[in-house]
Amino acid sequence: MSHQNKRQKNGAITAAVAEQPAAGPSKPTPRLFAPFRALGHVTDHVPYAMFVHTPQGALATPTVNITTSVGRSWLMWDAARMTLVFAGPDAGAQINSLAMTGTEIFASAGTRVIKYHRGKENGTYLSPDQSNLGKILIFGDELLVLKEDGTGLVIYDIKGGQLKNQITFHSSFTATHLMHPSTYLNKVLIGSQQGELQLWNIRTCSLIHTFSHPTPASSSPITNIVQSPAIDVVGVGYLDGTVRILDIRQGDLVMQMKIEDGAVAGLSFRMDGPPILATASSTGSLATWDLSKGGRVLHVVRGAHDQTVTGLQWVPGQPLLVSSSADNSVKQWLCDDPTGMPRLLKFRGGHHAPPTCIRYYGEDGKQILTAGRDRSLRYTSVVRDSRSFELSQGSLIKKAIGLGVTVDHLKYPQITAISSSSIRSKDWEDVVTTHADDAIARTWRVQEKRLGPWTFEMDSGVAQAVTVTACGNFSLVGSSTGEIRMYNMQSGKERRSFSLSGAAPGDSKPKIIAQSKTAKAKATQQQAAESVKKTLEAITGLVSDALNRIVVASTLEGKLYFFDFHTTQLLHSAQLTTSITSMSLNRDSGLLSVICDDLTVRLIDIETRRVVRELRGFKGRILDTVFSPDSRWLIATSLDSTIRTFDIPTGRLVDAFKTASIATSLTFSPTGDFLATAHVDSVGIHLWANKAQFSEVALRHIPEEEDVPEIGLPSVQGLAEDAAIEGVEAIGAPEFTDIYTTPEQLSEGLITLSLIPRSRWQTLLNLETIKQRNKPKEAPKAPEAAPFFLPTVSGLETRFDLSANQDQSDTQKNGKNGQRLDLASGWLESEFNKRLTREDESGDYNTFFEYIKSLPPSTLDLEIRSLASSDHLLAFLNALISRLRSNKDYEAVQTILSIFLSVHNDLLIQNPEEFKDKLTELKDQQNKHTKRIRELVGYNLGTLGFLRGT
């Protein structure tokens, strides 16, 4: 059953994980797909509880909430509209029993009872001896829990959570069910596997009375105990189908009935007046009994459910009966009159057998078409549960009731292939399916939620491959004998047929005109003679491109046939080395995925008709493949229970993980956000969030020999934000990143340039020109500072005496005490010279040149000009020679060499005996590299000129 999509804040990867492996790979494996949630349930046992809230006010209507378990989780439904209210988190074990109060839900799972409030866990009651717990009963402020093995009863305080008391039963009494009789203070009635009933006082923990089975020699286990509208009267159901109504005050048998088709799976008394008892059997049937007429059966609804009924209850004060079953459904039955037959009012259901084929429908990525072993086709909404439905195959329920069989017996065979196109969904049928061992392909119309009027029947063999064209106008069907026929989706008529050998048949005529009875007989004989050949020519895959130009068919013998869509002419055929089991086409990229029997997926380009990739590494038969919407990934599932993701451009495995059960089918959302999988032992559709859609994921190649981690399947709902999930990282968490670091030099024989911007070396070359251009024409003069008190010079005109201020400035200019600062006397060795002399003469001077490249152009020019001693000049020349020899920083060495020679050329010329050897060695290295670069540049220029035609 599908559920409403309630995402958490980081819901793209928040999920409850069933199990996590203890060990994993040595390196973190990139996780492209993280568990999100399941669009369905695993329903091995489905207990359920119901609560009716009666609001204040005369006009107020009661609110009915139904809680059902779905394996390890639970769901709360609003009975008025059957909409999902809450979805509980993973309980950690199979839920055995449920109970409800006004605001809280109690669920027993494994060795604990969990209390939930508004869908969140807020309390836990642990088993005192670590034994599994079973049936639970809310009794005032106390919580009563039967042990699953039936050996005892545990009593808890609901508010405090403490263990209050324990009751241990006799070894000859194995408890199966418990119930509180109305008006009985501190008393509970407990049924046993031996058929006995015991009345216990839970305050004193004492046994009050034992009700023996009426026939001890042929006793049957008690399966249900319910309270009747009458005080002291209870209904008891047994495994052999017997229903007994007992007066526990007098210890008398009031009434006895018998169900003929299985054990009593549910009992419920109608509480709104009429004395009606409803019973449910283990075969899925419902029955109503008139207690006013001695327990006469009123109606039997056979096939009400496809599997065992696990919950049955009348809504208090209403003629409404609610039932749940292990067939993954909850149904409401309405009785229009007291003695009328219950009719189905509302229900919510899903697959009651695992889906075998799932495909996204439409282009918005909000709905999935699913076909299961229950022989049904369902439309499942990813966004809202109320939009999900089963496509009708006709009025099968009425027929099944009339024939006395289940609905599944009247449905069409199991669907083996689905193809759809929603382009013309408003005009005519848009889905075509093939069925197991059936020569007919059937059409469906999603918009009208029903089976279509057209059927496409093959002349021989079984229809096993189907595709709907991108335009939605045609459907192609392939059979197990090599037939390929094209039908019009609007009229349902055959338009063309394709032949694997011989001339193209072209347009087809109606069968009545095409051949007579004699021709049919001859054709039958010919088909019998060529049965062996036809077996090898069985069509295993059929696709058409986006523009209706090419039709591609694959056969069991390993051949691919390319046909012209319009003329049906065979354009090309290709023989692979092994059989082909299925194939799929990404119409946007034209890539064809072919699943082969040699555990290899081959990708074929339909334009060039050549194999472009071979994807290996599978350790079991490949079951299904799907492309990502952008055609960058191919996701495949195989019998080794591993889901692998391959990067198509590189052909490498970039993601792989194991699941607890084998994924039989998978499909990728057209919007790229979810991967949906169906598993061999689960009736749910599991969603995996594509983490690359929400954050950047660094991918790496995963070797085939690396261990693949096993992660749990998505649950019904994710955990809270602060819950830790082992093996699943939150979005935005650091991933393993295989960062490629560019080496300093790709090869020793290649000339490598520096990473310094070109402007810096150009500035260094033209530094003198830049200084001259920026030099001011006249040095700025500082204004003369006047003293605070200005003395005057005697004379006719008023003038200030500034002689003292002038003397002070001359003193400062000449230095303290009139001495000039001697710069030469205090010379210190710079960092440039220290690093130069520190380098090894036989090395490559890497540290020294990294320091040079960090200096500004003006500073580097000053350092080069400051090389005054011959030792420093020789060391600098040796650094330039070593750097040229290492083929590194070529343009930087050329710039520095130019500045060095222009500044120190006079010293180098005046001392030839000292610098001759180094200069000669420098010249040889320079000529060697210059010649090589000129030859390469000239060759490239000549080649480009030739290609341009100049």
Q: Which pLDDT score, from 0 to 100, does residue 379 have? A: 94
Residue 382: CB partners within 8 Å, gap ≥ 6? Answer: 5, 39, 365, 366, 367, 368, 669, 674, 687
Q: Is the separation of the CB atoms in 706 and 25 below 8 Å?
A: yes
Q: Which pLDDT score, from 0 to 100, does residue 832 have? A: 85
Q: What parts of the chain have a pLDDT lower than 70?
A: 1-31, 34-61, 508-535, 715-740, 779-780, 782-828, 950
DSSP 536: H
Residue 673: CB partners within 8 Å, gap ≥ 6? Answer: 365, 689, 690, 693
Instruction: Look at residue 619 and give its three-state secondary structure.
Output: coil
DSSP H or E segment with residue 931: helix 912-948
Q: Which pLDDT score, from 0 to 100, does residue 522 have? A: 47
d(CA 231, CA 199): 15
Instruction: Look at residue 825 and give its three-state secondary structure.
Output: helix
DSSP H or E segment with residue 576: none
Q: What is the DSSP string of 776-823?
A: -SSPPPPPPPPPSS--EE-SSS-EE--HHHHHHHHHHHH-GGGPPP-S
Closest Cα to residue 282, out of 244, 239, 314?
239
Q: Could you count the other beta carbons within 10 Å of the beta carbon of residue 848? A: 22
Which amino acid belongs to residue 394? Answer: G
Q: In a 10 Å sphere around its CB, with 0-12 CB exposed, 13-18 middle and 19+ buried, how is residue 923 labelled?
A: exposed
Q: Is the separation of the CB atoms in 545 and 516 below 8 Å?
A: no
Closest Cα to residue 478, out of 421, 536, 554?
554
Q: Which pLDDT score, from 0 to 100, does residue 551 have? A: 95
d(CA 146, CA 549): 68
The token duo for 106 is 């109690």
pLDDT tens digit sequence for 148-183: 999 999 999 998 888 999 999 999 999 999 999 999
Q: Is the separation of the CB atoms in 219 and 207 below 8 Å?
A: no
Q: Could you count the other beta carbons within 10 Å of the beta carbon of residue 698? A: 11
Q: Which pLDDT score, from 0 to 100, does residue 512 have? A: 45
CA atoms within 13 A on the CB side of 28: 16
Location of structure tokens 């969603």: 687
d(CA 600, CA 587): 21
Q: Is the separation of the CB atoms in 698 and 733 below 8 Å?
A: no
d(CA 861, CA 760): 12
Q: In a 10 Å sphere around its CB, with 0-12 CB exposed, 13-18 middle and 19+ buried, how is residue 818 labelled?
A: exposed
Residue 434: C-alpha distances to residues 351, 415, 464 (Å): 19, 6, 6
Q: Which pLDDT score, from 0 to 100, does residue 521 have? A: 45
b (16+ CB within 10 A) / e for 175-206: bbbbbbbeebeebbbbbbbbbbbbbbebeeee
Closest Cα to residue 397, out of 355, 341, 338?
341
Which amino acid belongs to residue 768? Answer: E
pTM above 0.85, yes or no: no
DSSP H or E segment with residue 930: helix 912-948
Residue 213: CB partners within 8 Å, gap ≥ 6? Answer: 194, 195, 196, 219, 220
Residue 66: C-alpha distances to residues 77, 78, 320, 639 (Å): 5, 7, 13, 38
Q: List helix spans (H) across 839-911.
A: 846-854, 857-865, 870-885, 890-910
Which amino acid belongs to residue 185? Answer: L
CA atoms within 13 A on the CB side of 498: 32
End-to-end alpha-carbon separation of the chain, Å?
73
DSSP H or E segment with residue 611: strand 610-615
d(CA 167, CA 184): 19
